[in-house]
Amino acid sequence: MRYNLNEKEEVQKKKRLGFKSVKSLIAHMVAEKKILIVAFVAMVITAVLNLVGPIIIGNTVDNYIQTSQFRGVLINGGILLATYIVALFAGYLQTRLMGSVGQRMLYNLRNSVFNKLQELPFDFFNQNKTGDLISRINNDTDKINQFFSQSLMQFLRIILVMIGSGIFLISIFWELGLAALAPAVLIWLFTRIFSPWVKKKNAESLKSVGNLSSEVQESLNNFKVVVAFNRRDYFRERFNEVNQENYKAAVKAGIANNLFLPVYTLFSNFGMLIVLALGIYFISVGEFTVGLLISFIAYVNSFYNPLRQLASLWSNFQLALAAWDRIRKILELENNMPTVSSNGVDDTATLVSFREVFFSYPGGSEVLHDITFNLKKGKTYAFVGPTGGGKTTTASLIARLYDATKGTVLLDGHDIRSFSAEERSKRIGFILQDPFLFSGTVRENILYGNEEYAKISNEELKKIFHDTGLELLLQRFEKGLETRVDVSGDGISLGQKQLIAFMRAVLRKPDLLILDEATANIDTVTEKLLDDIIQKLPNSTTKVIIAHRLNTIANADVIYFVNTGQVTRAGSLKDAVNMLMKGKMAS
């Protein structure tokens, strides 16, 4: 299954998803319904009170200022002041409520995205760059937060004010009102035509930010290699390339986002000119008053001035939608490795069985072709072969990091897909050549995911280490269990990382232990020590060793040669060496 988030979708599919994006985004607001209702009521109060002002002003001009009744002017002025003060507090309440809604949505949305990532299979992370995923979690969710906390209610208030202003314009003098609103039709047509283009440019800008994050993350992770090979120029050129792409995409997005404002301003000015020209004409023929013209101009301003704000808010809305599309792609993904039912097979001696297994990576060529073999309980198996021959892929299928494209992998007589992730992790230990550790202590990394020893004391843990032979490995760390582990790897060698991963796997006492070049960065003395510890595992534990060192595989019960999609049983170590040499020359 393809999990590439950056693959281009078909144009028609994008059009169908337009409304779906808005609908699914709104669905994430359901939990905040009560607060949104209160904020909406406060917004309506603010808008209505602001709309009442021009009527009061027009009435004051016609009935009190022109007749010199200053007492009426003071009364109406007091009413107007009280109206605006109430509108101010209502507006503050709405702003404060929406700020809290935005932050909670940001918190929940980031949790949802991160939790979804935990559900997705290993293949997903092979097909997507880490930097891009980080950008979606941090940058894209923040764009949505900014829209909800700063723009949404303002957007709705503007729509409400415009509708109210339009109603007042029509009710005061419908002929002049229709003439004043005519440019708004042109604005609507312009917005409808260019909004998809604006959203597209924002989506390209967000994608370029993700690519930039990926490049920075990759450069920093590999900085030691950069320094060792003195190739700062290479990474400088690569960074400059993606930075240029980001710059160009950002400029295009900026142009698109600023497109609406001058156009809206132009049409707004047209509306004002129409009102002034026709208003003066209607006053001259006695069908209109000066006070009504003042009110009319105020309502025209209330209708068109928000349009200028709407131009900026609409761009923010398009940016939020583009960000939501990127997040929605993650949230809508489904794990293509579900748990299935299995009737089981009556074969108590076999732990792992491959039955006519085929495998190919998404979009790639076939890696394994019609593979069938059995791994017996308590035996030690070695998989050898040239680089790229399929050894790690075979081990990954055994641990169900991937599912077979065709065929069946059995664990203890049952379809391996029938085991939950928790059951599988307890029964299968997997030690990688370059293991991943978390920031923290050696103890925290060793006990990671091990519920049995989660609350055990250091003294009890040290006793377990003594009984299992792991105590000597722990002595390789200056402060023992409390030695700090930095995720960047500073202060701890790759060999020590492998020791921690080894201890973490052995403590689980798995039914199957897979060592994928697990001793590649360890000296021969330590390797001998690890071998002694492995021998102390229960007799029922099956070992699968992937290694290039001949001494590592010399004591294996069975050796398999893996190359060109085939897994072939070698008769002896000498046969395996001959097959390995021929395989390397052939490759």
Beta strands in 366-491 (DSSP E): 366-376, 380-384, 406-411, 414-415, 428-431, 440-441, 484-485
- Rounded Cα gap, residues 245 and 239, in angstroms: 10
List the one residue out of 384, 399, 401 whose CA is nearest residue 546. Answer: 384
Q: Is the pLDDT of residue 22 over 70?
A: no
pLDDT of 375 reads: 92
Lowest mean pLDDT among 8-22, 115-129, 380-394, 400-414: 8-22
Q: Is the pLDDT of residue 173 over 70?
A: yes
Please state, for a pLDDT cut of 70, what percent of the chain lies above it.
87
Q: Is the pLDDT of residue 19 over 80?
A: no
Contact 567, 561 (CB under 8 A): yes
Contact 532, 563 (CB under 8 A): no
Domains (ranges, CATH) in the chain? 29-331 (1.20.1560.10), 350-586 (3.40.50.300)
pLDDT of 16 reads: 45
Q: Is the pLDDT of residue 8 over 70?
A: no
pLDDT of 583 reads: 58
Contact 434, 496 (CB under 8 A): no
H-only helix segments in 447-572: 458-468, 471-474, 494-507, 524-535, 550-553
For 101-114, the pLDDT digits (tens) are: 777 777 888 888 88
Q: Is the pLDDT of residue 482 over 70?
A: yes
pLDDT of 190 reads: 83
Burial of residue 225 (number of CB atoms within 10 Å: 0-12, 13-18, 19+): exposed
Q: Is the pLDDT of residue 504 over 50?
A: yes
* Residues 57-68, mean pLDDT to the nearest whole number: 72
- Rounded Cα gap, residues 56 and 187, in angstroms: 30
Lowest mean pLDDT among 187-196, 209-218, 329-338: 209-218
Residue with tokens 């003195």: 230
